[in-house]
Amino acid sequence: MTEWRGIPRTDIPWFPTIDAEKCIGCRECISICKNGVLAFDEAIRKSKVVNPYNCVVECRTCARLCPAEAIGFPDATWFNEFITEKLAARGKP
Ligand code: SF4
Ligand code: SF4
């Protein structure tokens, strides 16, 4: 997806981050995500983010399913304010 509601997808900082200290390498997140956001890093035996902007804006499915609570997303309140401003500014020069 190159745009989300008229905003360039790369202007929207919504994607998972993985805490490598917590990740147990179960690959559950890779199995559940159909968008190729995550991949397994064989060198460290943990998941990593490889295509952040393929992540569906406001999806948190992988984080909900991670047994180690290793996946984080932007703070919801901060993100709501950010995206509301972005949408309001959409179309302005
Ligand atoms: S689901 Fe969680 S613990 Fe399992 S590989 Fe993904 S980030 Fe690591
Ligand atoms: S939040 Fe959804 S789209 Fe984004 S990486 Fe996780 S499962 Fe994939």
Whole-number pLDDT of residue 90: 82
Fold (topology level) of 3-89: Alpha-Beta Plaits (3.30.70)
Split at pLDDT 50, 70, 90, the class of 75 is very high
Of 30-39, 73-82, 83-92, the least confident: 83-92
Q: Which ligand is closest in space to the CA of residue 38? A: 2
Global pTM reads 0.93
Give the residue extent of every domain in the chain. Answer: 3-89
Q: Which long-range contacts (CB under 8 A, 24 or more apart) does 7-14 make?
A: 7/86, 7/87, 7/90, 9/53, 9/57, 10/53, 11/86, 12/53, 12/57, 12/83, 12/86, 13/74, 13/82, 14/55, 14/57, 14/58, 14/73, 14/74, 14/79
Which atom in ligand 1 lies closest to the alpha carbon of residue 65? 1
Ligand 2 probe mutation, 56, 60, 65, most atoms within 8 A of CB = 56
Identify the residue whose C-alpha is closest to ligand 1 atom 3. Answer: 23
pLDDT of residue 1 exceeding 80, the answer is no
Which atom in ligand 2 lies closest to the alpha carbon of residue 73? 1
